[in-house]
Structure 1
Amino acid sequence: MFINLQTPREDIKNLLLKINFFNDANETITHVTRPGEGNMNVVLRIETNLRSFILKQSRPFVQKYKDIQAPIERIDVEFQFYSSIENNILVNKHFPKVLKYNSENHLLILEDLGKCEDMTSLYDAHKIDLNQLRVLVNIAANIHNSKAPENYPENKELRLLNHQHIFKLPFIENNGFCLDDIQLGLEALSIPYKKDTLLKDRIKEIGHQYLSKGTTLLHGDYYPASWMTNKDSLYIIDPEFSFLGFPEFDLGVLAAHSIIITKDETYISRIKDYYPNEIDKNLLAQITGVEIMRRLIGLAQLPISTSIKEKEALLQLAHHLIMN
């Protein structure tokens, strides 16, 4: 059964009774709301006369862009991620607790973290607190140090979808996405990079590495929309892109968005210094560069107010990071 904001409360209650999440027939749903913008899945906040919780359900497509197919099993990957960090107290305190998982209905019920806000406001603030950055790096490190089971899902279909949007589509001429609809002049700015065969060959190599099987548990989508704050607490959500890969991927995404926010490339070295394990600094730089580029000239645009001149400088920096 698929549910959404329009599903009658009684139908939602019956489903929750059926999967043994509601154990008290007197528990009554009082409010059903959206806790925020969900890109991939249906996400609802359910309030009852006894408690509140977050209900998350996947579909065979991207919830925000229903014409893009996506594996419905991604909700299982998210559950497997939470299971893998369950015994790591250093990291699980930064994630919502799993209250119930029902594979038949592709349903994950999570702790309600309360009035959290995602950290996309950093794009407008143009700065990121170094203490927060250190916490984000430490959380990533503790994810990477968590022991995933040998049969951890490869998440191949979702990675292939992500691979298209990170390493391929942004660098194809006439890809059907007019960048001037985003910002006048952006299309012309992108053309030299779409025509640069050496750049595209290097990005192709990095993309192959992304698709290869690694040994490190990754979040897989470690950027401000996945970071949440509530007063002094910092949480991470949405690990549905998780897989076993290389740590430089999570860290490179973190570095890229730190640079997009601040326009300061020294955040790469800061992240490297904060990270307690050995990493490949060249691979970190390359992932950083690819993520900057794909967020500026790809389909997955960010809520940023950045001038064409600033984007030109960021693209030049990204090119340098990828090619050196």
Structure 2
Amino acid sequence: MQLTANINIELLSTFLSKEGILGEGEKVESTEKPGEGNMNVVLRVRTNQRTFIAKQSRPFVQKYQDIPAPIDRIAVEHQFYQTIEKGTIDQHLPKVLGFLSKEHLLFLEDLGDSEDFSFVYNNTREISKSHIEQLTSIARGIHESTLTSTYPENIELRKLNHQHIFVLPFLEENGFSLDDVQEGLQALSLPLKQDLLLKEKIALLGKLYLTTTGGVLLHGDYYPGSWMCKQDKIFVLDPEFSFLGFAEFDLGVMAAHLFMATGNTSILEEVIEGYQRPINKSLMREFAGMEVLRRLIGLAQLPLKRSLEEKKTLLSTARSWVVGG
């Protein structure tokens, strides 16, 4: 069965009952979109007894359906949750209610009245110390997870991500006009796209990302869109990009978004101090710079409310982090 926004409620109810997702006497009453999804079809299912989230992968990116994507990414997400199920941070993840591998369907606890952390991009330019501490602690918990079976390399999804992080943002002609995002941003990006030293360093980071086949368990997309806040408690979602790699990647991505939100360069040290595990600070800084650059001049834009001059400062700092200047 394929999930759609206008799915037949009776057929869905029959299907979920047959597959054991619904309990005795339970029936689907309605469905709705819980928010804007990028990679997958996501529905909130409302029954006569409860609500839960149904999430299904397709062989393409749901938001941009001309972009192919591996359909087994939902199985990677399921394995991530299963790996951490008995860990120290499972209370920060939604509970898994069921998984139908043949249908590429994952059923999760509905977090209800919660919001993602996209609010950090607005003009308040701050994030609480408590939130930073929670996020750093959760990242550490993910990385300390004990693996009891072979974890997927997730290489096909990493190849897709590699293009959008390390390649497309730095092509002078990539079919994407940054002036449609903000007038003057295209011209601001050109020196970076023509910077041979920067592009050489980016290629090395990209190769490291793509060829790594071991290390600690990573979330793989540890940024505000994957963080949910509910009554000051943080939940982490969407680990479909997860793989075994180096902690500096998750931490660099996290620090990059906190830096873009606040403009505070000391945020890197805050994350390092709160992480309380040995890391390669230079590598983390390089990945943080990489993430800032690709988010500001790449296709995966953020709802970041910053002036052109402010973005120029962010880009300059990010470049220095990547090249070590």
- In structure 2, how many angstroms separate the alpha carbons of the residues matched to 1:31 and 1:93? 28
- Matching residue of 1:123: 121
- Residues 265-291 of structure 1: per-residue CA shift (max 9 Å, x gap): 110011011111100000000000000
Provide the residue aligned with 1:232 in structure 2. 232
In 1, the alpha carbon distance for the partners of 2:302 and 2:20 equals 39
For the pair 1:102 / 2:100, whether they are aligned, the reply is yes
Residue 104 of structure 1 aligns to a residue whose secondary structure is: helix
**2:15 is aligned with what amino acid?**
L
Task: Give 1:167's aligned amino acid.
Answer: F
Counterpart of 1:152? Answer: 151
**2:313 counterpart letter in structure 1:** A
Secondary structure of the equivalent of 1:93? helix
- The number of residue pairs the alignment matches comes to 322
2:276 — aligned with what? 276
* 1:161-180 equivalence runs, <5 A: 161-180=160-179
Task: Tell me the CA shift for residue 131 of structure 1.
Answer: 1.1
Instruction: Write the letter of the residue equivalent to 2:93.
Output: F
Aligned residue for 1:174, secondary structure, equals coil
Q: Deviations over 1:150-193 (max 9, x none)?
A: 41011111100000000110001111111111111000001011
Q: 1:197 is matched with which residue? A: 196
Q: Could you tell me which amino acid in structure 1 is paired with residue 249 of structure 2?
A: F
Q: What is the rounded CA distance, in whole Å, between the counterparts of 1:27 and 1:272 in structure 2?
A: 48
1:140 is displaced (CA, Å) by 0.1
Cα pair distance change 1:150/1:28, threshold 3 Å: closer
- Matched residue type, 1:308: L
Equivalent positions of 1:16-35 (< 5 A) are 16-24=16-24, 26-35=25-34
Q: What residue is the counterpart of 1:252 in the other structure?
A: 252
Measure how far apart 1:214 and its partner are: 2.3
Deviates more, 1:260-269 or 1:208-217: 208-217
Q: Distance in 2 between matches of 1:16 and 1:128?
A: 40
The one-letter code of the counterpart of 2:128 is D
**Pairwise CA distance, 1:31:** 2.0
The TM-score with structure 1 as length reference comes to 0.98
Give the corresponding residue for 2:183.
Answer: 184
Shift in Å, 1:135: 0.6
- CA distances 1:250-274 after superposition (whole Å, capped 9, x unpaired): 1001100000000111100110111
The aligned residue for residue 55 of structure 1 is: 54
CA distance in 1, matches of 2:83, 2:226: 18
Counterpart-to-counterpart distance in 1, 2:218 and 2:176: 30
| In structure 1, distance between residues paired with 2:289 and 2:11 | 47
What TM-score results when the alignment is normalised by the length of structure 2? 0.97
Question: What is residue 263 of structure 1 aligned with on the other side?
Answer: 263
Spell out structure 1 runs of 4+ moving beyond 4 A.
Answer: none
Q: Which amino acid aligns with 1:250?
A: D
Q: By how many angstroms is 1:20 displaced?
A: 1.5
Q: What amino acid is the match of 1:280?
A: N
Question: Are 1:67 and 2:66 counterparts?
Answer: yes
- Percent identity of equivalent pairs: 51
Which residue number corresponds to residue 6 of structure 1? 6
Measure the CA separation in 1 of the matches of 2:26 and 2:285: 52
Q: Deviation of residue 149 (structure 1)?
A: 3.7
How far apart are the structure 1 equivalents of 2:55 and 2:281?
Answer: 36
1:165 alignment partner AA: H
Deviation track 1:102-131 (CA, whole Å, cap 9, x = no partner) reads 100000000111111111011113111111
**In 2, Cα distance between the equivalents of 1:214 and 1:193?**
31
Aligned partners of 1:197 and 1:286: how far apart in 2?
A: 16
CA distance in 2, matches of 1:93, 1:295: 30
* Structure 1 counterpart of 2:199, one-letter code: K
* Deviations 1:66-92, CA, capped at 9 Å, x for gaps: 11111110000000000110110x211
- Structure 2: any 5+ residue segments left out of the alignment? none
Structure 1 residue 78 and structure 2 residue 77: aligned?
A: yes
The answer on 1:243 being equivalent to 2:239 is no
One-letter amino acid of the structure 1 residue matched with residue 143 of structure 2: H
Give the whole-Å Cα distance in 1 for the aligned partners of 2:59 and 2:317: 37
- Are 1:207 and 2:206 counterparts? yes
Aligned to 1:298: 298
Counterpart of 2:288, as a letter, is T
Which blocks of at least 5 consecutive residues in structure 1 are unaligned? none
The whole-number CA distance in structure 1 between the counterparts of 2:53 and 2:172 is: 41
Structure 2 Cα separation of the partners of residues 19 and 163 of structure 1: 36
User: Over aligned residue pairs, what C-alpha RMSD do you find?
Assistant: 0.9
